[in-house]
Homo-oligomer: A and B are copies of this chain.
Amino acid sequence: MRIDGLQYCAWSETIFRQWRASGLDAVHVTIAYHENFRETVLNVEQWNRWFERHDDLILHGQTAADVALAHETQRTAVFFGFQNPSPIEDDIGLVEVWHKLGARFMQLSYNNQSLLATGCYESDDAGITRMGKAVIKEMNRVGLVVDMSHSADRSTIEAAEISARPIAITHANVYAWHPALRNKQDSVIRAVTDNGGMLGFSLYPHHLKNKSDCTLDDFCTMIADAVAKYGIAHFGIGSDLCQDQPDRIVEWMRVGRWTKDIDYGEGSADAPGFPTMPEWFRDNRDWPNLAQGLVAKGFTASEVNALLGGNWYRFFAENFTPQSGEAGI
């Protein structure tokens, strides 16, 4: 099994073919950054057209069984997720509606304060809001995973504690390895992994030591250290790959419609666009390099399989279906 815990590419047949050539059985794709309910439904409609047109390459993933089906039929299962709770607007009833439409991950905030939680770029973090607590309970009930990748520390720790089911940080790295605002402190990783959650290691250069110049060995050293400290079962890959996206998209991701000013996020006025990917992970063609890097670091074949897909597969199997006793959904 090979599973990517998060991508936001400019999807195309070329990328779908690369997925398969790299042995990717499943990818969690972002279908909303700042989109409201109706706009996100339009993004689902676009995916439905791709599922219809490219049914030899991809299928709509809803349960872990779809990953196995994709593997058997040499395709890639695509799972929907949001990097912001904007698709549920102010309406908790949309949590179940979105699960029916295929959403499997939802971030409670994206950099900024949301109705549910604080984002990692805010100066103060007041933790999970009243609506946030109600929504986490509902997400637990239907099988929509709490993702705290872009949330602030206190909010993330509280979410891990409040949630009755494991939560995820689909795409981020270890702060102690590379102190970026988006990387996670020990206390955050502890809270998530102690509660059975997962972290997907990111290949986004701003999350990497020496950014675009990070070496594969450096990246695998971080993984080895995290595995030694927190246990291998809690880690996978969430590449955060934005393959083929034009730079206007990174501006949309950062600014949405919430400000008239430009916010450079992890970039800068000098380098406002997408950063250059490391030469050993240019895009979806380079998944085999990750396996080689992990083997070189001393991981066994079964450990490599766990890190590159097996752990996400187990997490998908346990967290995408309604809470036990909720058979009626």
A41 to B98, CA, bound (A): 11
The stretch of A43-51, A241-249, A258-266 in contact with B is: A43-51
Q: What residue of chain B has the Cβ atom nearest to residue A41's Cβ?
A: B97
The answer to whether A328 touches B101, judged by C-beta atoms less than 8 angstroms apart, is no
**Copies assembled:** 2
A327 to B210, CA, bound (A): 46
The answer to whether A51 touches B102, judged by C-beta atoms less than 8 angstroms apart, is no
A51 to B100, CA, bound (A): 14
Digitize A21-45: 1 where CB-to-B-CB distance is under 8 Å, 0 elsewhere.
0000000000000000110011011
Q: Is A60 an interface residue (CB 8 A)?
A: yes
Chain B: minimal CB distance from A104 (Å): 14
Which one of B41, B100, B328 contacts A102 once the chains associate, using CB atoms below 8 Å?
B100
Q: Is A91 an interface residue (CB 8 A)?
A: yes
Chain B: minimal CB distance from A41 (Å): 6
The answer to whether A328 touches B97, judged by C-beta atoms less than 8 angstroms apart, is no
A52 to B45, CA, bound (A): 28
Q: Is A55 an interface residue (CB 8 A)?
A: yes
A145 to B101, CA, bound (A): 19
Digitize A106-143: 1 where CB-to-B-CB distance is under 8 Å, 0 elsewhere.
00000000000000000000000000000000000000
Known contacts A38-B38, A100-B101; A93/B328 CB under 8 A: no
A44 to B96, CA, bound (A): 10
Which one of B37, B91, B94, B328 contacts A52 once the chains associate, using CB atoms below 8 Å?
B328
Please, which residues of chain B bring their CB within 8 A of the CB of A38? 37-38
Known contacts A55-B328, A59-B328, A60-B328; A48/B96 CB under 8 A: yes
The answer to whether A45 touches B96, judged by C-beta atoms less than 8 angstroms apart, is yes
A60 to B329, CA, bound (A): 7
Which one of B52, B55, B93 contacts A48 once the chains associate, using CB atoms below 8 Å?
B93
Digitize A45-70: 1 where CB-to-B-CB distance is under 8 Å, 0 elsewhere.
10011011001000110000000000
Chain B: minimal CB distance from A19 (Å): 16
A133 to B45, CA, bound (A): 19
Q: Which of A51, A94, A100 has the most CB of B within 10 A?
A: A100
Chain B: minimal CB distance from A151 (Å): 26
A169 to B52, CA, bound (A): 30
Q: Which 5 A-B pairs have the closest CB atoms?
A: A45-B93, A55-B328, A48-B96, A59-B328, A100-B101
Which one of B42, B55, B97 contacts A101 once the chains associate, using CB atoms below 8 Å?
B97
